[in-house]
Chains A and B, each alone.
Chain A
Amino acid sequence: MTTDKTPLIRVLDLEKKFDNINAINNVSLDVYEGDVLFVVGPSGSGKSTFLRCLNRLEKPTGGKILFDGVDICSPNCDIDIHRQKMGMVFQQFNLFPHMSIMKNLIIGPMRLQKKSREEAEALACDYLKRVGLLDRKHDYPNQLSGGQKQRIAICRALCMGPQVMLFDEPTSALDPEMVGEVLSVMRELAEEKMTMVVVTHEMNFAKEIANRIIFMAEGEIVEENSPEEFFLNPKSDRLKAFLGKVL
């Protein structure tokens, strides 16, 4: 594959222990610019923990994570700077309920990137237009449906101009009829070559837009493949069993 390039994210022997639970064991992985990497696996296999280690919301207990060549696990690394370049979208949206939609979108660029209000608002309006929610900019998060909230949450992350977007089950908290609107925003992002790491249970969506899929079980990467091979020719028994259940 793309071995001639240096990876945007390089994970080396990552390990994460919670007290006595081994959530992540010896995981190594390279994510390249433009990758749309999907992470699937059974519940409790460590997918969220893995994703949250990438921007150090969880502090790894072993191994290394290089982002853009910088070891973000080293104690003298300023993680706040790097997090600005890694957008994160949560299952529960986590919009700030005491701020208007517009405020949710501009607070990061204004406070952290010292953009002027005009500049930040113009950027926010661009993204709001793209997800079809420009007319809701003065509303508050609780006035929106789940699907709308999640589209706003994606905009909020994009307004920081990230180099990679991390998604943790972005559609799992949504009513079925709202899943499509969020997936189509993600599809557009993938088409624009945004680097994405996506944890999901939406297998058909993974098949459709991923360029790589990894299967995690018990804190390890059991198998990685292209979408076609992943679903047609699963190698390990665990993946076969998993696909048997979810497809």
Chain B
Amino acid sequence: MDNIVRSFYQNFIEDNRYQYILDGLKNTLIITFFAVILGTIIGFLIGAIRSTYEKTGKLKFLNAICHIYLAVIRGTPMVLQLLITYFVIFASVNVSKIVVSIIAFGINSGAYVAEIIRSGIMSIDNGQFEAGRSLGFSYNQTMILFIFPQAIKNILPALGNEFIVLLKETSVSGYIAMQDLTKGADIIRSQTYSAFMPLIMAALIYLILVLVLDQFVKYFERKMRNSDH
């Protein structure tokens, strides 16, 4: 018991080492939050282009570009995407690491969000689309008034899960020496030469965040299902 207390003191209290955890957590949350926003925007645009192409055959060229983007992002490791964004794309530009991380994770997440949105839209029976069009609504009006409000019930829970995945994915930010939660814990480990306390602490914090987010997603899911008429 004494050992544990001393280890706790040494790893977190001494020299204010808990700051590494707090700063790391702050950065993890900032990266995740803005990457989610960027990913959602990209995902919506691409999901809209892809489903428009599938429904009408229009936007062929844009759809082809989206295909390439999806193939590249989903076909390469996240860590490499992060390294390339930092050391290749932004090599000669002075941009803070946190912004680079947000961009890299946002672009990555966008690919997965796009597929969630596309499949959400395509899951709605085509009869709904035809009913809207046959009344005289335009393609966009039909999408906005009839298709999207129904698709959102399938999309929101999947989107919530994507964000949980993203939160954990950001733990590779340390590869560009970005001090996120994981990196913060690792810095403590390198100073105190004890691995258990800082790493378990970081893992616990991720776990709690994920469990809380998971409850949110479940709550939403229930709400969506209840409003299902």
Binding site for B on A (CB under 8 A): 55, 57, 80-84, 86-88, 90, 92, 94-98, 107-108, 111-112, 140-143, 156-157, 160
Contacts and interface: CB of A to CB of B under 8 A. Distances in A.
Interface string B108-144: 0000000000000000010110111111111001000
A82 B133 CA distance: 11
Nearest to A109: B135
Question: Which of B128, B130, B136, B149 counts the most A-chain CB atoms under 10 A from its CB?
Answer: B136
Contacts of A57: 130, 133-134
A82 B135 CA distance: 9
B220 interface: no
Contacts of B149: 98
Interface in B129-179: 130-138, 141, 145-146, 149-150
B163 to A, nearest CB: 24
B130 A83 contact: no
A92 B127 contact: yes
B127 A90 contact: yes
Contacts of A157: 134-135
A138 to B, nearest CB: 11
B135 A98 contact: no
Contacts of A111: 137, 141, 145
A107 B131 CA distance: 12
B127 A94 contact: yes
Contact of B130 (A90, A95, A160): A90
Contacts of B150: 97-98
Given A112-B135, A112-B137, 7 more contacts: A57-B133, A81-B136, A84-B135, A86-B134, A88-B131, A98-B150, A142-B229
A140 B150 CA distance: 14
A80 B133 CA distance: 7
Nearest to B126: A94
B229 A97 contact: yes
A81 B133 CA distance: 11
Contacts of B133: 57, 80, 83
Contacts of B128: 94, 96
